[in-house]
Chain A
Amino acid sequence: MHEMSIVASLFEILEAKARENQATKIVGVKLKVGKLAGVVPEFIASAFDIYKQDTIAAEAGLEIEEVPLKMRCRKCSAEIVQEDYSLLCPSCGSTNLEILEGMDLFLDKIDLEI
């Protein structure tokens, strides 16, 4: 349950972006959450609703897109989208995979009012 500290880091970025753009309000936030990022989207949403009170994002809606684990095999170049958690190339059995997506948490976009 570290979703609250993730949301705290998110708000550091949100507040900086709002300042940069001289926004009066943040009305929408979209996140991309990797399947292997180790967080529960519902908990992020609850933490966001608690944290946003009395901030510039008090009325903001939150959209979360879940990103599956996407990898490329360094041996056979296959692109792999994994539903379960396996770091093995299904085409050639290689373990030499480059993770392209699905490990991280991204702030994708912000809707502002200026």
Chain B
Amino acid sequence: MEKKVIQVREEILGSNKKIAADIRAKLEAAGVLVVNLLSSPGSGKTTLLERIVEALKPHHAPAVIEGDIETERDAERIRRKGVPAWQITTGGACHLEAKMVARLLPEIPAETRFLFIENVGNLVCPAGYDLGENLRCVLLSAPEGDDKPKKYPSAFATADCLILTKSDLFPVLPFDPERAAREALEINPRLRVFITSALNGVGIEEFVRYLVESREALLQGRRHA
């Protein structure tokens, strides 16, 4: 019997990263901006998405992938807006992985301009998995408390933008949006911060503009590449 030590130095999630890079390349070539939405359960991802797809639909063909542990409910909510949506049920897993998204690529209509991926509600695990997105958005709702960024730093550290949701509740809750933004910006100073309310429409237009500009920048980048 012989003993042998092999130096591997391989990323454990390397295969996920490879699949994600492939998704990003394919969708970029098709002119699609991919947005990964991360947050705790109940912070308003689906409700915000309903508003966003309504605003984008007339000119910018959105599509949505919904991730949940069980049920088809969220995809049905998006389909009721007349927007293509697919449900991934993970059957217990706490996050989406790139291979789950890759399987759906052939179904995405050619005219699609924006693909939203709503991750499983969880502020920890999804942060470790690249899904091929161009933008990672983390949502934090007023009822969750303004102290969450430092308690769950990975999601905030890896995001491009922070959306403080349910702003209609700010006046009645001890939630300080400035503190929430400051905590998040201390972790990740490059975050773009948005304040939204899906209930009264605050901030939706501004966020949609950010999405449209991000897609234009992506296309511009390709032309210059």
Interface residues of A (CB under 8 A from B): 1-2, 5-6, 9-10, 12-13, 17, 21, 23-24, 27, 31, 36-39, 85-88, 95, 103-114
Contact = CB atoms under 8 A, between A and B. Distances in A.
A80 to B, nearest CB: 13
Instruction: Give the size range of B's interface with the partner.
Output: 20 to 34
B10 interface: yes
B9 A6 contact: no
Nearest to B4: A112
Nearest to B124: A38
Given A38-B125, A85-B157, A108 B9 contact: yes
A37 B128 contact: yes
Contacts of B97: 5
B10 A13 contact: yes
Contacts of A104: 11, 13
Contacts of B188: 87
Contacts, number: 101
A24 B2 CA distance: 10
A110 B127 CA distance: 27
A85 B4 contact: no
Given A85-B150, A85-B153, A109 B93 contact: no
Given A10-B12, A112-B4, A39 B190 contact: no
A62 B63 CA distance: 43
Given A87-B190, A88-B189, A39 B128 contact: yes
A41 to B, nearest CB: 13
